[in-house]
Every structure is written in structure tokens, then in C-alpha cells.
Amino acid sequence: MKVGIILGSVRDGRAGEAVAKWVHEQAQGRDATYELIDLKTFDVPMLTSGTHPMMAKKKYDDERVQAWSDAIDACDAYIFVTPEYNHGVPGTLKNAVDSLGQEWVGKAVSLVGYGSVGGVRSIENWRLVLANFSMRITRAEINLITFFDWSEGLFEPLERRGQELSDLFDALEEIAG
């Protein structure tokens, strides 16, 4: 099983990079293969294609979208590392998700959120969006709080986060298997 850890922020100086690397490091040695997928490296354009992504049959007219499609389609399950912006999902990641169709359908996903209240509103938004693709979403989630899981700008997750993440991996692997 291949699990894509999707780093969903593309901002300069993004806090999510340290989070995604931590998730990836913690996943090493598990039965599944975990791969870090950095959305920023794909430069996915705004969705403007006249062809609805669900009707595109995984063939896109923009090479950046095609590269994104190929990376996503190669995975059996996902972990979204998602910030919370203005009580919701980050626009660039939402656009990237919306730019694809069949690649997401029926696959398993877990959510790792971060922000001043742990990314909980972003995660709740994602649950609604991803349900549209009939994705199987774990109840287990990680809520990293900027006031507790960062110190002087450095990501230093609370001690309990390691067990929470292990439980998330277990849940994801079970429903994806």
C-alpha cells in the first residue's frame, strides 16, 4: 500500500513543511510505504479547463495538472497536512483537489490539521469536500495547535502527538487495506 502525505500549503515559510516531514519520519518502518507529496512542486494552475475533471478520465490538457494527477493516482490512500486559513481550507489545496476527479474516488484519507485551534475547522470542511469523492475518511485526526506544538517558531509537537499519529496511521491502513 502506498500512502501519499500531501503537504497542502504553498506559502513561503510555511509551518506545514515541518509537520509533513514529521508525519513522514514517523511513518518510516510501517508496513505501508509513505511518500511525501509537496503541492508546491506541482504549481497546479487555477481550474479553468472546460472539461469537468470527473469527465477527463485522468487525462489533462495542462502538464502540471497531469503531473499532479499521476502523483495522486499512484497512491492508495492519503494524509492531508492542511493549515486552516480564515476558518476554512487553504485555497491552493482546494483548487488542486478540485482539479482532479477519478484519482480520489473511493480512496482512504486521514487529516492532520494545524492552526490556532488545531485546524479543526479546516478538517471539518475537508470532511464535507472529500465525501463528495466517496472517500473513506478516518475518524482519527491530528489537531496541532500553534500555541502548544510550536515554540519560538519551531515545530515541537507535544509528547502525546506521537501516539496520536500512530493511531492515525493504524486507522488509515485498516480502512485502506
pLDDT of residue 104: 98
How high is the pLDDT of residue 166?
A: 98
Mean local confidence (pLDDT), 7-17: 97
- Kindly calculate the radius of gyration of the chain based on its CA atoms and give it in whole angstroms: 15
Q: Where do we find the cell 488542486?
A: 96
Q: What's the one-letter identity of residue 33?
A: T
CA–CA separation, 80 and 166 (whole Å): 15
Q: What is the pLDDT of residue 53?
A: 97
| pLDDT digit string, tens, across residues 92-109 | 999 999 999 999 999 999
pLDDT tens, 150-161?
999 999 999 999
For residue 47, give the C-alpha cell: 481550474
Average pLDDT over residues 20-40: 98
pLDDT tens, position by position, 54-107 = 999 999 999 999 999 999 999 999 999 999 999 999 999 999 999 999 999 999
- Share the mean pLDDT of the chain: 97
What's the predicted TM-score (pTM) here? 0.97
Give the residue extent of every domain in the chain.
2-176
- Superfamily of the domain at 2-176: Flavodoxin domain (3.40.50.360)
